Homo-oligomer: A and B are copies of this chain.
Amino acid sequence: MPIEQGGRVSWGVDHLPYGVFSRPGQAPRVGVRYGDRVLDLAAALHDEVFAAPSLNPFMVRGRAAWQATRALLREKLTNDMAVTEAHLVPLEQVRLHLPFEVADYVDFYCSLDHASNIGRIFRPDAEPLLPNWRHLPVGYHGRSGTVVVSGTPITRPHGQLKAGVFGPCVKLDIEAELGFVVGTPSEMGAPAGAFEDHVFGVTLLNDWSARDIQAWEYVPLGPFLGKSFATSISPWITPLDALPRIPGPPQDPEPLDHLRRRADWGLDIVVEVAINGEVVSRPPYASMYWTPDQMLAHMTSNGASLRVGDLFASGTISGPRREERGSLIELTWNGNDPIKLADGQTRTFLEDGDTVTLRATAGSITLGEVSGTIR
């Protein structure tokens, strides 16, 4: 039943990502993707928590519940298909929704290659990395109200492009990222606990960026309208337990104790960026300098609490090679070196009608894709 891709089973019992789906005329509810179908969990597991229109009520139950449900699903989809079959709905019969209610959204800046490229583009005569970059995962809060599910059309933002000029963004860009979804809260006034006790799963994320608006507004309080118009995520949240873990890259200087890695949370995930169906880069998540456990530890090190539905993202994933860059500003070096598409067209930044699709593979599994078309 699972889909074969390049000889690998992509949506089988080793993956089982969660989402929210609806059948025509019915309310959204929680499902798990299996092959090219979605399992109706409220029906299959007789648990009303899955009749909610978001994953939040299930996520807040915590890790033991996540693991028990995952084990139960594997059992049912392996040894109990005669019964389970009745609750599988073909994907083409459902609509997919934003899978959880986003509480706070934080975006980090964890790729050494991305941060270095941006530094070289904007400050060509200075040290590419700023002094704090190797000491902490730099991040900021984004707008959680404009996080949308894959497939939502993206309206080209207007904004101030420089003093006295207001108009449509002319440097509309993408950022290929991973997003981490928080399931269990933490208390205000103390750091959070272990990464795997708080983080439910992973989504692919496109942090749409208006580079001209951002460049004019961002000093001294950071990105605001250059980012807040839209952030797209995959409809499927991949559980942490499905992901292949590897050590993060070496760090120099040694991180302070509260940022020290206590387990391997590097992730062997390769992302693919496609414009109008054509792959233009393949950013490798394995190269990310700051790992997601370090992001979580940093984010709560001041006593900031977590809520169910908090989302934090990695920042643009870029590897050391040109074909591994996760944004157009890097791929075209701020528009100075257009990329060539197969049909003879070129791109510096996105044009109206362009569709950007991010896909990713993690070992034997394929993450849910995230796609959006500019209008």
Q: Which residue of B lies closest to A307 (CB)?
A: B145
| Tally of this chain's copies | 2
Minimum CB distance partner of A159 in chain B: B302
- Known contacts A135-B163, A188-B155; is A229 also within 8 Å of B130 by CB? no
Check if B144 sits within 8 Å of A104, measured CB to CB: yes
Return chain B residues, CB-CB under 8 Å to A333: none
The verdict on A344 contacting chain B, using a C-beta distance below 8 Å, is: no
- Docked-complex contact A220 and B130, CB < 8 angstroms: yes
Minimum CB–CB distance from A131 to chain B (whole Å) comes to: 7
Interface of A is mostly: loop
Q: Which of B155, B190, B305 contacts A146 (CB 8 A)?
A: B305
Which residues of chain A (283-341) have a CB below 8 Å from chain B? Answer: 298-299, 301-307, 310
**Chain A interfacial residues counted at CB < 8 A:** 60
Alpha-carbon separation in the docked complex, A159 to B300 (Å): 10
Determine whether the beta carbon of B303 is less than 8 Å from that of A219.
Answer: no
Q: Please tell me if A223 contacts chain B, counting CB pairs below 8 Å.
A: yes
* Residues of the B chain whose Cβ atoms lie less than 8 Å from the Cβ of A298: 225
A256 and B166 contacting across the interface, CB-CB below 8 Å: yes
Q: Give bound CA distance, A301 to B210, whole Å.
A: 13
A355 to chain B, nearest CB (A): 17
Does A132 count as interface, using CB distance less than 8 angstroms? Answer: yes
Please provide the chain A residues from 93 to 118 with a CB less than 8 Å away from any CB of chain B in the complex. Answer: 103-104, 106, 109
Residues on the B chain within 8 Å of A221, using CB: 109, 138-140, 218, 222-223
Interchain CB contact under 8 A, B145 and A143: no
With a CB–CB cut-off of 8 A, which chain B residues contact A225? 298-299, 301-302, 304
Closest B residue to A306 using CB positions: B145
| Contact residues, A172-215 vs B (CB, 8 A) | 188-190, 210, 213
